[in-house]
């Protein structure tokens, strides 16, 4: 079942601060992030929201067992819109990694 993704745009874009000739890995971050809730059985409330702190429970397994997955999805400006590069393939890779790590 497809979910509509709610989008909350940032009021303070940092794009003009970006030096295209000096982009350092792990130093430059996007204006937005994707957030989705997991209720124990399914993912709900998909949202793109302004980049910012995330609240984590102290019981979060990634803090205790190093259980985490990195899967970066690429997005590009396309005319007056944003285009995602192969999001279904990205989701498949994320799910394969999650199954391997026994994560939802």
**What tens digit of pLDDT does each residue of 9-31 get?**
999 998 888 888 888 777 788 89
**Residue 34: which of 103, 90, 99 has the closest Cα?**
90
Q: Where are the domains of the chain?
A: 1-53, 69-104
For 59, the token pair is: 């019981």
Residue-wise pLDDT for 62-74, tens only, equals 777 677 787 778 8
Lowest-confidence segment of 22-31, 38-47, 87-96 by average pLDDT: 22-31
| Whole-angstrom distance, CA of residue 98 vs CA of residue 75 | 22
pTM: 0.56
């Amino acid at each position: 079942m497809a979910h509509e993704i709610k989008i909350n745009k940032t009021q303070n874009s940092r794009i003009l601060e970006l030096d295209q000739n000096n982009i350092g890995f792990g130093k430059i971050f996007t204006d937005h992030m994707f957030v989705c809730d997991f209720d124990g059985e399914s993912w709900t409330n998909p949202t793109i929201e302004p980049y910012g702190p995330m609240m984590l429970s102290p019981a979060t397994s990634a803090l205790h067992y190093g259980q985490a997955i990195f899967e970066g999805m690429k997005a590009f400006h396309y005319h007056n819109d944003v285009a995602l590069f192969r999001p279904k393939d990205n989701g498949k890779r994320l799910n394969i990694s999650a199954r391997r790590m026994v994560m939802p």
